[in-house]
Homo-oligomer: A and B are copies of this chain.
Amino acid sequence: MENKGVVVGIIGLGLIGGSTALRLRKVGFANRIVGADHSNKNIAKSIELNIVDEGLELNELAHQADVIIVAIPVDASKKLIIELLNTARKNQIIIDFGSTKSSIAQAVRNHKNRSNYVACHPIAGTENSGPTAAFDSLFNEKVNIICDKELSSNNALDTVLEITSQLGMRPKFMNSKEHDRHIAYVSHLSHISSFTLGQTVLEVEPNEENIFDMAGSGFESTVRLAKSSPSMWAPIFTENSENIIEVLSAYIANLEKYKLMIAQGNEEALRKAMKQTNRIRTVLEKEPLS
């Protein structure tokens, strides 16, 4: 795709959509960016922050945009993407940036315009939401997972690879089923563990001053994701319920093991279990243990 003259349409002017727009404008990928959002406040804020040039109704955005990026909660995106595919023009590209992939993959699998669509999951985010949370370096050095690439046209895939690169990411390819299983472990579980941690502490600490005074940076770090948006995460959890239930069961089983080791005063077993998990340091840092 020739970039000059590309109109990019962003549906969902939150952290992800907003950060995408800011970066694509900065690097000059788009010469015009239009946006749609269910909230007029978000549209006004996005214009004010120079995230989009104009807010449009969905129909009008679909009419004007060469590339449409969908960055809304996963419960709403499936229906919307089918509608966008129904009216897709030749070479119009529809990109999904949602956090679950299997359910939508099944829904569009046999659509006549399936090849106009590219399923992505940029692995980036913060605990903040809305257009004011957006910033142009959100995706720097992150990974964009592209699912089922063989079902997208070469033109669509090339454009997504260029956008991936312009956003500062590197691509990783997998099928949507694999994606949903892995992401349940490395992302969805973290969110649930963090939400339930926050809940557990809030329930027993009516005197919040104790939390503030006694919580070290460790608590802040583990509970950070409990600040995340319920509107975004509730649909993710239910869309990916099968994988998440498997993951939660494994997590609870490990917690029960710790509980037993602690009840038995089995320090040796605790030490061994923790030492094995210390390996996460090398996995995350790709550096030898210090």
Residues of B within 8 A of A248 (CB): 255, 258-259, 262
Bitwise, A210-245 to B at CB < 8 A (1) or not (0) is 111111111111111111101101110110010011
Question: At the interface, yes or no: A26 with Cβ under 8 Å from chain B?
Answer: no
Q: How far is the CB of A196 from chain B (nearest CB, A)?
A: 4
Stretch at the interface among A60-68, A111-119, A121-129, A160-168: A121-129
Q: How far is the CB of A247 from chain B (nearest CB, A)?
A: 7
Question: At the interface, yes or no: A39 with Cβ under 8 Å from chain B?
Answer: no
A200 touches B247 (CB 8 A): yes
B214 touches A186 (CB 8 A): yes
Q: How far is the CB of A18 from chain B (nearest CB, A)?
A: 15
Bitwise, A35-66 to B at CB < 8 A (1) or not (0) is 00000000000000000000000000000000
Question: At the interface, yes or no: A193 with Cβ under 8 Å from chain B?
Answer: yes
B259 touches A216 (CB 8 A): no
B214 touches A143 (CB 8 A): yes
A221 touches B218 (CB 8 A): no
The 8 Å CB contact of A191, one of B202, B218, B230, B256, is: B218
Classify chain A: how many residues form its interface, as a range: 35 or more
Residues of B within 8 A of A197 (CB): 189-190, 193, 251
Tell me how many chains of this kind the complex includes.
2
Contacts A125-B217, A262-B241; is A189 near B193 (CB within 8 Å)?
no
B186 touches A211 (CB 8 A): yes
Whole-angstrom CA separation of A126 from B241 in the bound complex: 34
The 8 Å CB contact of A186, one of B201, B225, B274, is: B201
Question: At the interface, yes or no: A137 with Cβ under 8 Å from chain B?
Answer: no
Using CB atoms, name the residue of chain B closest to A275: B230
Q: Is the interface of A mostly helix, strand, loop or mixed?
A: helix
Bitwise, A197-210 to B at CB < 8 A (1) or not (0) is 11111111100101
A251 touches B217 (CB 8 A): no
Contacts A214-B145, A276-B199; is A222 near B225 (CB within 8 Å)?
yes
Using CB atoms, name the residue of chain B closest to A280: B198
Question: At the interface, yes or no: A192 with Cβ under 8 Å from chain B?
Answer: yes
Q: How far is the CB of A249 from chain B (nearest CB, A)?
A: 7
Using CB atoms, name the residue of chain B closest to A289: B227
Whole-angstrom CA separation of A75 from B190 in the bound complex: 31
The 8 Å CB contact of A283, one of B211, B222, B224, is: B211
Whole-angstrom CA separation of A241 from B280 in the bound complex: 25
